[in-house]
């Protein structure tokens, strides 16, 4: 099992390889005279952050900048992609590839201001170059560092790596905020607005052809749907749907405790009497209904589709909408890998549970 977890972790690292900066010296290549923005892979496999002439002076980088011999390109990308770029532009010798140097510096800033939210990096990058002489080299979100692809829109708590001269970088904290304290402020209005919209959506009946009455998502289903939608929107009309990781975990744990506590208080008073009066049969049937589908699903995932063990653990926990099972699997395996499949399965399972229960009741009542 340890080998499998190590293999899956290695695949994750290969999917999101670490990024490096290099200064590549342009040699003999057929791309001399071509636009730098038109180089194969530019903006997808690597990003050219700055351009220097042979004396080391910075050349303004824009959409019309042309590739020239002995030009130095300050680029960011994975090690493999930078090696491919070095061959592409003729920098084949080992001494032609050196760590990023020159008058440029690199700093990391935390996004904590709403002024840059919702703006595509393609537009923001152009503005930063023209007005401040700095450029974004990478964006780190949820622990994953990626290149500043043009379609990406910054969110609160993103961490951006910015390249520029020491003087130009002084403007970066004002642009991005870089304040952990600002992120700690509770977004009260967006939170309660999201809850209200979730309750509203959950109370609306969904018409199903052939059924005498509509089905509803309920408070839980409506809140889940609106949570997904608002998380995707993130920023709208001056409101930001954002919650710090600590606050998210606290509310989640409190919700689970309150839910289980209420279930226990409701069922506890009659639990012993129910067990003594034939409740063992119902409990046995519930255990079979719970275990058999999970066992068959795990068997099919492992034997037929060859899904790795951590993903199966997250899938089963999500199919039961069972956060404690997810927490146990991550603690037992000492990895967060199950969380990915759990997050994928959980929303669909929760909605299907709500709708399927209502549909079964309506269908069975129609048969009786």
Q: How many whole angstroms separate alpha carbon 141 and alpha carbon 234?
A: 14
**How remote is the C-alpha of 298 from its chain's centroid?**
26
Structural contact between residues 144 and 191, judged by C-beta atoms closer than 8 angstroms: no
* Secondary structure of residue 156 in the 3-state scheme: coil
Structural contact between residues 20 and 77, judged by C-beta atoms closer than 8 angstroms: yes
Q: Which CATH number fits domain 18-102: 3.30.70.1450, 3.90.550.10, 3.10.129.10, 3.40.190.10?
A: 3.30.70.1450
Confidence (pLDDT) at 367: 63
- Rounded to a whole number of angstroms, the CA Rg of the chain reads 27
Structure tokens at 363: 């269908």
Confidence (pLDDT) at 94: 36
Confidence (pLDDT) at 298: 93
9-61, pLDDT tens digit by residue? 777 666 778 898 888 888 877 888 888 888 888 888 888 888 877 776 777 67
Answer yes or no: CATH 3.40.50.2300 is held by domain 104-184: no
Is-same-fold flag (18-102; 104-184)?
Answer: yes
Q: State the helix-helix crossing angle for 188-203 and 218-233, rounded to 10 degrees.
A: 130
Alpha-carbon dihedral sign for residues 283, 351, 348, 210? positive
Q: How many whole angstroms separate alpha carbon 124 and alpha carbon 75?
A: 18
Q: What counts of helices (H) and strands (E) characterise the chain?
A: 13, 11
Confidence (pLDDT) at 13: 67
For the chain, what are the domain ranges?
18-102, 104-184, 307-368
What's the pTM? 0.75
Structure tokens at 67: 């590739």
Q: How many whole angstroms separate alpha carbon 33 and alpha carbon 67?
A: 5
Q: What is the mean pLDDT of the chain?
A: 84
Q: Is the pLDDT of residue 91 over 80?
A: no
Confidence (pLDDT) at 120: 86
Pairing of strands 144-146, 159-164: unpaired
Confidence (pLDDT) at 90: 81
Q: How many whole angstroms separate alpha carbon 204 and alpha carbon 288?
A: 34
Q: What is the DSSP letter of 207?
A: P
Confidence (pLDDT) at 56: 67
Q: Which of 9, 47, 39, 38 is nearest to 146 (CA)?
A: 47
Q: How many whole angstroms separate alpha carbon 348 and alpha carbon 114?
A: 31
Band of pLDDT at residue 313, cut at 50, 70 and 90: very high
93-150, pLDDT tens digit by residue? 434 444 444 577 889 999 998 889 888 888 898 899 888 989 999 999 878 899 998 8
Confidence (pLDDT) at 235: 82
Rounded to an integer, the average pLDDT of 339-361 is 85
Q: Which of 169, 160, 97, 105 is nearest to 133 (CA)?
A: 169
Percentage of the chain exceeding pLDDT 70: 92
Cα torsion 104, 108, 114, 120 to 10°: value is: 60
**Least confident span in 174-188, 297-311, 326-340, 352-366:** 352-366
Q: Which of 27, 33, 67, 31 is nearest to 51 (CA)?
A: 67
Q: How many whole angstroms separate alpha carbon 354 and alpha carbon 215?
A: 9
Q: Residues near 321 by Cβ (< 8 Å), separated by ≥ 6?
A: 346, 349, 350, 353
**Least confident span in 169-183, 207-221, 302-316:** 207-221
195-228, pLDDT tens digit by residue? 999 999 999 988 877 767 778 888 888 998 999 8
Confidence (pLDDT) at 93: 43
Band of pLDDT at residue 366, cut at 50, 70 and 90: low
């Amino acid at each position: 099992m340890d080998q499998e977890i190590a293999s899956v972790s290695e695949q994750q690292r290969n999917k999101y390889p670490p990024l490096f900066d290099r200064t590549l010296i342009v040699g003999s290549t057929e791309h001399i005279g071509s636009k730098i923005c038109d180089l194969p892979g530019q903006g997808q496999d690597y990003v050219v952050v700055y351009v220097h002439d042979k004396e080391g002076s910075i050349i303004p980088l824009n959409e019309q900048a042309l590739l020239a011999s002995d030009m130095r390109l300050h680029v960011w990308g994975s090690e493999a992609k930078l090696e491919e770029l070095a061959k592409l532009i003729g920098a084949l010798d080992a001494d032609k590839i050196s760590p990023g140097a020159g008058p440029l510096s690199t700093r990391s800033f935390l996004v904590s201001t709403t002024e840059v939210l919702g703006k595509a990096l393609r537009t923001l990058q152009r503005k930063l170059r023209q007005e401040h002489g700095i450029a974004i080299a990478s964006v780190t979100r949820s622990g994953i560092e990626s290149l500043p692809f043009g379609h990406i829109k910054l969110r609160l708590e993103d961490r951006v790596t910015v390249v520029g001269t020491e003087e130009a970088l002084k403007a970066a904290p004002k642009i991005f905020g870089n304040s952990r304290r600002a992120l700690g402020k509770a977004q009260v209005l967006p939170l309660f607005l999201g809850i209200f919209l979730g309750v509203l959506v959950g109370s609306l009946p969904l018409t199903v052809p052939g059924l005498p009455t509509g089905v509803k998502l309920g408070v839980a289903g409506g809140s889940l749907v609106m949570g997904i939608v608002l998380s995707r929107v993130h920023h709208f009309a001056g409101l930001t749907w954002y919650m710090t990781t600590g606050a998210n975990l606290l509310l989640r744990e409190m919700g689970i405790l309150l839910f289980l506590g209420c279930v226990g208080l409701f069922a506890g008073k009659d639990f012993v009497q129910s067990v003594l009066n034939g409740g063992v049969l119902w409990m046995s049937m519930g255990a079979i209904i719970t275990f058999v589908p999970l066992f068959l699903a795990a068997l099919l995932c492992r034997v037929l589709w060859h899904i790795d063990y951590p993903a199966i653990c997250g899938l089963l926990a999500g199919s039961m909408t069972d956060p404690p099972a997810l927490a146990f699997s991550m603690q037992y395996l000492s990895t967060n890998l199950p969380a990915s499949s759990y997050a994928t399965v959980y929303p669909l399972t929760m909605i299907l549970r709500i709708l399927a229960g209502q549909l079964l009741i309506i269908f069975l009542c129609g048969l009786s």
